[in-house]
Amino acid sequence: MKYISVLPLLFLLLVLASSCSNPATKDKQVPKGDTSRNALDWEGVYEGTVPCADCEGIATTLVIDYDNNFELKTKYLGKSEEGFSHSGSFTWNEKGNIITLEGLENRPSQYLVGENQLFQLDMEGERVTGELADKYILRKK
């Protein structure tokens, strides 16, 4: 008879233990996290004039779209009236915060995606620092 009265109590404890959630366990779940790619409205037209070693600056327009295509237009100010245009696709890095324009050689092709702005990265894929750092920003139009 003692076994019969203990079984319902054990069953009740088992049900209660399994239905309780441990908040510490929930906190240990890997968060999806927001990235530039999934949290920002990054598609659009970006413009700016980046520094140039032998001209007044490079007027730059970069159009990026949700299909991962780009069009880059550049014009070397004070050198020529001729502009240059490149188009193709771009890829995102694993962190979802940097895009790389495919098919560009011997020139910067990576941009850190921020809120309504793109930061042109140097040839090593690093943010430009120093006095001219603000000149390497393309702003969304």
Annotated domain spans of the chain = 36-140
Q: What is the pTM of this model?
A: 0.76
Predicted confidence at residue 8, as pLDDT, reads 55
pLDDT in tens, 81-105: 899 999 999 999 999 999 999 999 9
Q: Is the dihedral of CA 104, 98, 46, 122 positive or negative?
A: negative
Q: Which of 10-14, 54-58, 125-129 has the lowest mean pLDDT?
A: 10-14
The amino acid at residue 38 is N
DSSP summary character for residue 45: E
Specify the CATH class of 36-140 in words: mainly beta
What whole-number distance in Å separates Cα of residue 60 and Cα of residue 48?
A: 5
